[in-house]
A and B are shown apart, each in its own frame.
Chain A
Amino acid sequence: MTLTPDRPRIARAKQDALASALAQFDRVADHLALDSDLRALLRVPKREFTVNFPVAMDDGHTEVFTGYRVQHNLSRGPAKGGLRFHPSTDLDEVRALAMWMTWKCALVDVPFGGAKGGVTVDPRALTPNELQRVTRRFATELQGLIGPETDIPAPDMGTNAQTMAWIMDTVSMHAGYTVPGVVTGKPVSLGGSEARADATGLGVMMTAERALGELGIGLDGATVAVQGFGNVGEAAARLIQERGGRLVAITDVGGGVANPHGLDPTALKAHLARTGSIADAPDTTPIDNATLLAMDVDLLVLAALEGQITASNADAVRARVVAEGANGPVTPDADPLLADRGIVTVPDILCNAGGVIVSYFEWVQNLQSISWPREQVIDRLRGVLDRAYDEVARLRDADGIDARLAAHAIAVARVAEAQRIRGRYP
């Protein structure tokens, strides 16, 4: 079965991302009783950059693309956040994602502020040469904004290690020397970190395992459904299966598959490479997104887009644990509906923080010209995530609040503290 992507729903979800981010911030600002000056400062991005730039296409005509980079807050360090290439990327979406990056970096206590960027483009509609020209021209437009000590992009939706290599090369050509620390998520051969490609999926697996453990459920033998089979969903599915989880359903942008006896993510990845979707893979039953979200499973991993579980479909969710591998997949109005039914949500800024944590490791390795082996990276990642999970759980239990509010309270308090200590210039 092939699904037609629901474009209006995707567009609506993206518009709602900023509203979700602001609603979450207002809730935690109320909880912490933040003063109005600080509240006003943290509610808006520090810096927004929009650029329209021309690119020569293979057939000779020129196309104009629009790109964005938003730096939300820099009080704790240089800006850090992904660059996405997606046809519905717009400024409001990038604003929301930049704000979430600020909280994510603060929650896991890496010394970065939050940023996000993107180009409104469907990368699958471009040839490799066109994609390279779009990337290099956008990187040139970002010159002066990005750099190892100012703003460090990373891969996101529609971008990958190759994209980061082109950006690093473009910046290096302009600088006259190699600048590996300008981006993270590079190929390992160019100074990328071991385990970076799987880092977000690793984090999803680790934090979901902790949440299941709190309910007395082991990942080994747990039933799992995964929405999204991109960088995050594929890695999470594969790693969860390696830990003994049984993948009973997976959906991607082109369709979905189910098998109560378990799906093989490696075979699905091969099918995706051949056909462009996991739909109609051998030995599977077709399934749509609505059915996947309503499956009676131990763990539901949301690794697709924002706004997937809302007040209108939250009642249908039957998973014990919902792991937010994507940013903002559960809307604020759906949060209490899940909590009231005892469904545990692992909040996005904790669940999918593995990527930025290993990006931080990569940045540190680049600045010191050293390289850590994969096992060391994974051990350190687990250490950082375990500490963050423990802190969230402690505050959640002490205050009697949900994990999302606890996570945001820790993050916003850290940023507020940094802002206060730095004072105001001039």
Chain B
Amino acid sequence: MTDIDTWAPDAATALEAPRGWSARRLQIAVDGESIRLRLVRFPRGWVASADSVEGPTLGVDRSPYLAARQALEPFGVGLVDALSALGRLED
């Protein structure tokens, strides 16, 4: 099973986003390897993406958890790991 050791939302690394949008960048360690997950909230949902060797992955959903799950799937991150990695997202 994939093990996510740490996650770290970092306000200092907040992405620049269009008006009405918000963005966060999370650093997630999977099996000792670091994955950078970008999570962008737009009026109709969330876009998540992470950098893989084949290019950026993509997840889109009204739920940030399910968007992150899609983006992290190519890394072998399970749904529970993805939910746990995000932690509680406050509005």
A32 touches B80 (CB 8 A): no
Contacts of B80 in A (CB 8 A): 391, 394-395, 410
Contacts of B85 in A (CB 8 A): 398
**What per-residue 1/0 map shows which CB atoms of A386-426 lie under 8 Å from chain B?**
00000100110011110000000110011011001000000
B64 touches A33 (CB 8 A): yes
**What per-residue 1/0 map shows which CB atoms of B41-84 lie under 8 Å from chain A?**
00001100000000000000111111001000000000110011
User: In the complex, which residue of chain A has the Cβ closest to the Cβ of B41?
Assistant: A33
Contacts of B9 in A (CB 8 A): none
Instruction: Offer 7 A-B interface pairs, CB within 8 angstroms, sorted by A.
Output: A32-B63, A394-B80, A395-B83, A399-B84, A400-B87, A413-B79, A416-B63
* Contact A399-B87, Cβ < 8 Å, known A34-B63, A391-B80, A394-B80: yes
Beyond contacts A400-B88, A416-B63: 6 other A-B pairs, Cβ-Cβ < 8 A, are: A35-B61, A35-B62, A38-B62, A413-B79, A413-B83, A420-B61
Identify which of residues 4-63 in chain B touch chain A, using a CB-to-CB cut-off of 8 Å.
45-46, 61-63
B66 touches A416 (CB 8 A): yes
B65 touches A401 (CB 8 A): no
A34 touches B87 (CB 8 A): no
Could you tell me the distance between the alpha carbons of A38 and B69 in the complex, rounded to whole angstroms? 17
Query: Interface SS of chain A: helix, strand, loop or mixed?
Result: helix
Q: Which of B63, B69, B79, B84 contacts A33 (CB 8 A)?
A: B63
Which of B46, B64, B84, B89 counts the most A-chain CB atoms under 10 A from its CB?
Answer: B84
Chain A contact-residue range equals 20 to 34
What distance in Å separates the Cβ of A380 from its nearest Cβ neighbour in chain B? 17
Which of A36, A410, A417 counts the most B-chain CB atoms under 10 A from its CB?
Answer: A417
* Contact A413-B87, Cβ < 8 Å, known A391-B80, A395-B80: no
* Contact A420-B66, Cβ < 8 Å, known A391-B80, A409-B83, A410-B83: yes
A413 touches B84 (CB 8 A): no
User: In the complex, which residue of chain A has the Cβ closest to the Cβ of B81?
Assistant: A394
Could you tell me the distance between the alpha carbons of A420 and B46 in the complex, rounded to whole angstroms? 15
A34 touches B62 (CB 8 A): yes
Q: Which of B62, B69, B89 contacts A413 (CB 8 A)?
A: B69
A401 touches B88 (CB 8 A): yes
Could you tell me the distance between the alpha carbons of A35 and B65 in the complex, rounded to whole angstroms? 12
A417 touches B69 (CB 8 A): yes
What distance in Å separates the Cβ of A228 from its nearest Cβ neighbour in chain B? 31
Could you tell me the distance between the alpha carbons of A416 and B83 in the complex, rounded to whole angstroms? 13
Could you tell me the distance between the alpha carbons of A417 and B80 in the complex, rounded to whole angstroms? 12
Contacts of A36 in B (CB 8 A): 62
7 closest A-B pairs by beta carbon, nearest first, are A35-B62, A398-B84, A391-B80, A399-B88, A33-B63, A32-B63, A394-B84
B87 touches A414 (CB 8 A): no
A33 touches B87 (CB 8 A): no
B84 touches A32 (CB 8 A): no
Contacts of B63 in A (CB 8 A): 32-35, 413, 416
Could you tell me the distance between the alpha carbons of A391 and B78 in the complex, rounded to whole angstroms? 11
User: In the complex, which residue of chain A has the Cβ closest to the Cβ of B88?
Assistant: A399
Could you tell me the distance between the alpha carbons of A391 and B79 in the complex, rounded to whole angstroms? 10
* Contact A417-B66, Cβ < 8 Å, known A35-B45, A395-B83: yes
